[in-house]
Structure 1
């Protein structure tokens, strides 16, 4: 062997703390607001989340300990390998060194179990018997079903966006294999679902609708033994994912790299992007010269076209108002195959990072992304999830730019998940049946009109 392909950490080297970006933001975060426009108190969130997770949600502590029982489950696949993409570099004839953090090695095939295990553990510790959630492409629903099975004694019910429910039947099968229950959303099982179906019987569904259904089921449990669990967007979810970037820092150090020049992740609600990038934002805040790029679909341009506003996280307006980039909670996306990137809003922490100039945003069409996914599959051998191909497409752009500039940059991206459950999308692309969508600005304006009387964040 002439070169080292994979960089590993010992299990004992797995981080013992998560990193919280909130206290280090140049501008303080705007608080969640209730219907009266006043800040939401932790007690007001108690019917939805257990108090131990609410404490993390509002925490201003920079470092938060990872409980040992959580680490004992994470060690099934963590630390995940950091991989040098030699064959991709060769195909691009680039002087750049490309590294990717392979989160596809988890049991569910993505980064999602990093927070699913944590959330299920904290809920069980609080005495919760059942979790409800939503899922787009099915990665999050699979991860939470897996986590609940690992911990035992906790049920899992997943409302899956209808278009993905139809496109990806094997995801439903994965959830059920782990003991979860998967329902197509909108459904007739909640009032929110019934209202949407009455008004839009042929709707493809959206994450905003599925969130409304999952929250409604949680808060209407007469025994109060059910809580809601979210796979992205919220602060505590971003927190749990930072184990990705923290591991990568230790791994790069093993080959003599203090910081990469470029860090890239795809963006839907923000979790895998935050996971890889937040530890490097800490370095950037303290003087490091790092370009950090969040990549999203043209058909869901939350970071690149949506304003930074207060909006609800769901269609039925059951969530508090969050200060975030939002296309409007009534946004219904085109049925692109990157189902995990079809959310109308962006994590408040990621939105704040964009506002404060800690990162930049790109939108890329799905045809370019699938082409990037095919090149990665042929060179590195792993078929990436459609979501992940957005990060790969951006990485390819940056590698080509490094060649044009004649610079030996170090590029790090998060390989957020494999695409073995997403082959229908690849098949459609290869057969010429996959088309690009650009969400019209007129539709964004129409969605945002309803929010004109909402308070504005600082």
Structure 2
């Protein structure tokens, strides 16, 4: 966020606009905007059944204008809001709204939080720190497991360990998808736009197609139609494997982790924990003493917990929207 805000300031623009799905990116871009005296606006995925966006409370902290996406402030957002309803948003839609505003208003510049190579490279600090901590105790990971939406965080975690894998070390990288948005496990490898409206340049990725409308699961950051080009290339070359888990099993695993470790997890971290537990059980059954590397992020709300719907018996799994998926993928028939 800080480099993008810096270069925005260098152009003489007054503000920076972006899309996202939660408080982490809102805080990052808000802080960056404040450092350089920029106005900030974030189109953030709307919470299901709510007028509020994910992370809007953090917008107030940083003085950032947060709009629930799809909004009625852009042509892209209004069209989707009217045709598909207020809960049809995704990171791709939020990015489309932000990009549209930047193209129509010369006083603001667009910042992207994920997918592109520069955002993944910034995230490698996570993997580098993990690598140093493991080296301090003479360990190296046998498995690196992480949840995946567009893939920047996952890519940043695994990137420092990829050279050793290419050179022959049998480190296994496992990307964990939301079952309703299986970009790797059911997507196609092609060129596609990062946003839902096709306004941004196309890049090579595994994708369900930008027209895919994912169900309104609570892990908003995982509702994205494509995966970062770097991660997609590694998956295509079979350096990465992928699995998909549903909400109920992931949240149940997260609750188990919370009660054991004392950390209330963010929604996407629960999917990571679900697969980590599965892999740990497989290791125990086989008698192997493998080292599993994973990261988690805590929940940020103090008024409620991500487990409320699970504990109230209201949480249910979402399956892929097959009609939407078929229509979206049909655009690529004959392309590859």
Shorter-chain TM-score: what band?
Answer: over 0.9
Give the superposed CA RMSD: 2.1
Contact 2:123 2:156 in 1 (8 A): yes
Counterparts of 2:80 and 2:237, CA distance in 1: 37
Q: 1:261 to 1:158 in 2, by over 3 A?
A: same
Counterparts of 2:144 and 2:328, CA distance in 1: 32
Alignment correspondent of 1:139: 24
Unaligned runs of at least 5 residues, structure 2: none
Unaligned runs of at least 5 residues, structure 1: 1-115
Alignment correspondent of 1:156: 40
Which of 348, 355, 379 is the aligned partner of 2:236? 355
Is 1:177 aligned to residue 57 of structure 2?
A: no
Alignment correspondent of 1:420: 300
Counterparts of 1:403 and 1:352, CA distance in 2: 32
Cα offset for 1:282?
Answer: 1.9
Q: 1:286 to 1:428 in 2, by over 3 A?
A: same
1:241-390 alignment runs, 5 A limit: 241-257=123-139, 259-390=140-271
Alignment correspondent of 1:124: 9
Cα offset for 1:119?
Answer: 2.7
Counterparts of 1:177 and 1:440, CA distance in 2: 36
Q: 1:122 to 1:414 in 2, by over 3 A?
A: farther
Is 1:230 aligned to residue 112 of structure 2?
A: yes
Provide Cα deviations, 1:298-354, integer angstroms capped at 9, x if missing partner.
011111111112222222210112211111111121111111100111111111110
1:4-83 alignment runs, 5 A limit: none
Counterparts of 2:221 and 2:283, CA distance in 1: 29
Q: Higher relative CO (CA 8 A, sep ≥ 6), structure 1 or 2? A: 1
Q: 1:168 to 1:402 in 2, by over 3 A?
A: farther
Greater radius of gyration (CA): 1
Q: 1:298 to 1:167 in 2, by over 3 A?
A: farther
Cα offset for 1:203?
Answer: 4.5
1:96-135 alignment runs, 5 A limit: 116-135=1-20
Cα offset for 1:144?
Answer: 1.3
TM-score normalised per structure 1: 0.69
Give the SS at the match of 2:278. helix
Provide Cα deviations, 1:41-71, integer angstroms capped at 9, x if missing partner.
xxxxxxxxxxxxxxxxxxxxxxxxxxxxxxx
Farther off after superposition, 237-246 or 367-376? 367-376
Cα offset for 1:147?
Answer: 2.5
Alignment correspondent of 2:314: 433
Counterparts of 2:321 and 2:87, CA distance in 1: 18
Counterparts of 1:187 and 1:414, CA distance in 2: 33
Give the SS at the match of 1:414. coil
Which of 163, 166, 169 is the aligned partner of 2:50? 166
Give the number of equivalent residue pairs: 335
Alignment correspondent of 1:196: 80
Cα offset for 1:170?
Answer: 7.5
Cα offset for 1:445?
Answer: 1.8
Cα offset for 1:164?
Answer: 5.6
Farther off after superposition, 304-313 or 239-248? 304-313
Cα offset for 1:143?
Answer: 2.3
